[in-house]
Amino acid sequence: MATTVFRKLVLTLEMIRFEHSIFALPFALTGALLAWRHESFATAGLGIKLGWIILCMVAARSAAMAFNRLLDEDIDARNPRTRTRHLPAGLLGRGFTWGFTIACSLVFIWGARMLNDLCFYLSPVAISILFFYSYTKRFTSMSHLVLGFCLGIAPAAAWIAITGSLDPRILLLTAAVTFWTAGFDIIYSCQDYEFDRDTGLHSVPARLGLGGALLLSRALHLAMIITLVWLVLAFQLGIAAWLGVAAVAALLAWEQSLVRADDFSRVNAAFFTANGYVSILFFAFWSADILWNR
């Protein structure tokens, strides 16, 4: 029995691409460190709060991804690219996946309760937003921006976790992450251009075509860089933060160079590799700046 449950848990983590938690987590931790620095909180207890923030981030993302797979099972089964995913392929059952989704949601709410009252009160709102994204491709091509916002609320939530309140400046980081995520999600969704168009699903590629989708993706990534510059100025950060913005800009330029309207053979490198580097290097430079100049 225990072996069977463990095997199902491993398959579930594979299904939700658990390792991709790294995409948003560094931005959440950056939001937490910015709050710690600019609100002049003592270092004591910071590590514990960061631990709870990480738990909440991972639990919320895991719940949202599992819910998305449940809701999209029929769609995934019809799409040649996704029909081998765990649910349509029969590797996992809906009952276990629902149990995993509920358990992760409860862990998220419990973690929020351990942080502060405002986090706890907002936790049902946050999980509702994450679940709402899964419906959006059925009625709007702006689903990419909704996904971006789902990741973008992470740094603002981390600020609230540290301070118990919200500083409007951190919403610049929310906007930056929203633009970044929407930009790379549009690239990834180009793989399903024909399927989305033929089945009536809403996406930017289905609406604008592949060329138009890539142009919008580039505009969104440019908007991310502009917003990060604004953020550096708003928080009066130093040279390491500026270097972080430059590194992110270079990586996004590389990401965009990997795909063309007539060639998506390197889309996995653009989506997984480049964006993993973006989040890690951003956090490395910005955390160094915050810690050095506190």
Q: Tokens in use for 151? A: 């990741």
Q: What is the pLDDT of residue 202?
A: 95
Give residues with Cβ within 8 angstroms of 170, minimum separation 6.
31, 34, 35, 155, 156, 159
Indicate whether 1 belongs to any domain: no
The pTM of the full predicted model, rounded to 2 decimals, is 0.95
Indicate whether 19 belongs to any domain: yes
> What residues make up the domain containing 275?
9-292
Indicate whether 241 belongs to any domain: yes
Q: Is the pLDDT score of 129 beyond 90?
A: yes
Indicate whether 3 belongs to any domain: no
Provide mean pLDDT across the span 53-71: 96
Indicate whether 190 belongs to any domain: yes
> Please, which residues bridge with residue 273 across strands?
none
pLDDT tens digit string along 76-107?
999 999 999 999 999 999 999 999 999 999 99
Indicate whether 2 belongs to any domain: no
Indicate whether 254 belongs to any domain: yes
What CATH code is carried by the domain that includes residue 41? 1.10.357.140
pLDDT tens digit string along 179-219?
999 999 999 999 999 999 999 999 999 999 999 999 999 99
Indicate whether 4 belongs to any domain: no
Q: What is the pLDDT of residue 268?
A: 84
How many domains in the chain? 1
Q: What is the pLDDT of residue 117?
A: 96
Provide mean pLDDT across the span 13-29: 86
Question: Residue 153: what residue type?
Answer: I
pLDDT above 70 coverage of the chain, percent: 97
Q: What is the pLDDT of residue 37?
A: 86
pLDDT tens digit string along 247-294?
999 999 999 999 999 998 898 878 888 888 999 999 999 999 998 876
Q: How far apart (Å, rounded) are the C-alpha atoms in residues 135 and 153?
A: 18
Q: Is the pLDDT score of 146 beyond 80?
A: yes
